[in-house]
Every structure is written in C-alpha cells, then in structure tokens.
A and B are shown apart, each in its own frame.
Chain A
Amino acid sequence: MPGEDGFITCAVCGFSFDPSAHEGCRACPLHSGCVTACCPNCGATNINPRRSGLARLVERLFARKTYETPFDEER
C-alpha cells in the first residue's frame, strides 16, 4: 500500500520504494496505462496501487475510518 509519501512495499523482498522515482518508466510509451512498478531492490514486478482508481477509493474510505478511531483522537 502506498504510504502518505507514495512509497509501496515490494511483494517479494519487502523493500519500500517510490514507484514514481523511476524516470525510465516515463519514457515508456505504455506508461500511461501501466499498473505495474518494478522493485529497485529485487526487480520483482508489483501492482502499483497508485495507478488504480478502485484502490484509491478504498484507501480514501479506509483513511477516513482510521482518523475517526478513538485511538487517534486520544493521540
């Protein structure tokens, strides 16, 4: 899941990386429709949730719920 800083965690090696940091992708003609991101640590191809409208929707729903928990209010 991308954190607030946009980092995602690789499924294979657990490495956290910023999928937008790879300028090579921007040169790719298929980039605009591509939902994958390559882990710079192990090279595994991951789904990039930032590219999915459905994932962004779920993220927003979940984020709102998180902020409403008493734990966060106490903090």
Chain B
Amino acid sequence: MEEDLFKALADPTRRRILDGLVERDGQTLFEICARLATDHGLGLTRQAVSQHLAVLEAADLVRTRREGRYKFHDLNTEPLEHVVTRWLRPTPPGSTP
C-alpha cells in the first residue's frame, strides 16, 4: 500500500490529475483529459490517462464512483494524512497544542 502511494505520487502527470481534482471533485475521464490538455498542454492519450488513474486508484488516492451510466473520479486524501503524520514530530507531553 505504501509502495503504491509513493509510486503514484512520483509522477508529475499524476500529481496534476490530483491538482485538478482538488479544484473540482467528481470528474469524468473526459474532463480529466481536457484539463491536462488545456491547463498543462499535455497531449496524453485517453489510454495513458486511464493508466495513470489506475495507479492513483491502486494507491487509494482516487476513488471511482459509478452513478447510473456515468463514472466519476473523486480525490481521497486519507492515505496522504498517514504519510504526513508518520514523520511529524509528536507533540511533547504538557505542551499546549
């Protein structure tokens, strides 16, 4: 799981997909592709974007939601919270938070 997470974050395109989902959650594959192409000039094929999404899903950073005939992608930041707290200095006892 942890390996999946770091692997997912290591790629700039995947980080840009996450940036886009921060702006608006619940995007279709079409919108994700359109944002990559126009915001970043990345002319990726739909298949390539699908593969990036599969890596993000494996790391649980993106969750796919089927709603009737549509499929939306949502951002899930939970795995990131675990990563951040892991190296944060624990609060010393007696100190005010």
Decide if A and B are genuine partners: no
Give B residues with C-beta under 8 Å from A.
none
